[in-house]
Structure 1
Amino acid sequence: MPCYSIHRKDGGKAILCGDLGPHCGDANCGDVGTYLCDYPVGDDKTCDMPLCHGHAFEAAPNIHYCPGHALLWREFRAAGGVTRELENVVPYKSKESTNEGS
């Protein structure tokens, strides 16, 4: 039966045994991996490293990155990548909205 080292919000730790799923992917962490890294790695796939709440970086609502990919995301954002990509977004127009003026 696997055991987990749960990191509490007050800074304490607890040991919990049972099959709660994968352990956090950080080598020094024994907590439950309740999140998966959502960083895109190509071919419509994501990293999927299991992450505990302490190692999961929330890049957006319900989007979490592992520590390594969080670093890449922060560098991309700091270099203006988000703004640059958003400037290339083309607004969606449905066929109905383009035919309304006809």
Structure 2
Amino acid sequence: MPCYIQPMKDGGTMFLCGDFGPHCGACASVGDFLCDFPVGEGKTCDMPLCEGHATEVAPNVHYCPGHMVLWQEFRDAGGVQRELENVVPYAQPKREG
């Protein structure tokens, strides 16, 4: 049975033993999250990530370190603003009668 040493935010250390499923692709710790970065055809990266390597970019949306760099470059180059300018507001269909 594998055992893991998990650092905690308060500086302490936690020891975990057991089969905890996928491991973080960046450090081999327990992978609590999956990378949600879109990679095409409705799919996401899905790289397992530990708490230390998962960056939350929206509620319950996490990116791996590599995809976080791509997201920051896109955002800093004005990509978010360009995409928002293309959004067409939804209009309720008119009811007859």
TM-score, structure 1 length as denominator? Answer: 0.85
Deviations 1:18-37 (A, max 9, x none): 012211111xx242111000
Q: What's the % identity of the aligned pairs? A: 67
CA contact (8 A) 1:6 1:30 kept: no
Deviations 1:48-96 (A, max 9, x none): 0000111001111111000000000001000000011011011122xxx
Q: CA RMSD in A?
A: 1.6
> Structure 1, unaligned stretches of length 5 or more?
none
SS at match of 1:9: coil
Which segments of structure 1 move beyond 6 Å, counting only runs of 4 or more? none
TM-score, structure 2 length as denominator? Answer: 0.89
> Structure 2, unaligned stretches of length 5 or more?
none
In structure 1, give the amino acid aligned to 2:10: D
In structure 2, give the amino acid aligned to 1:89: V
CA contact (8 A) 1:49 1:66 kept: yes
Aligned residues: 97
Instruction: Provide the residue aligned with 1:99 in structure 2.
Output: 94
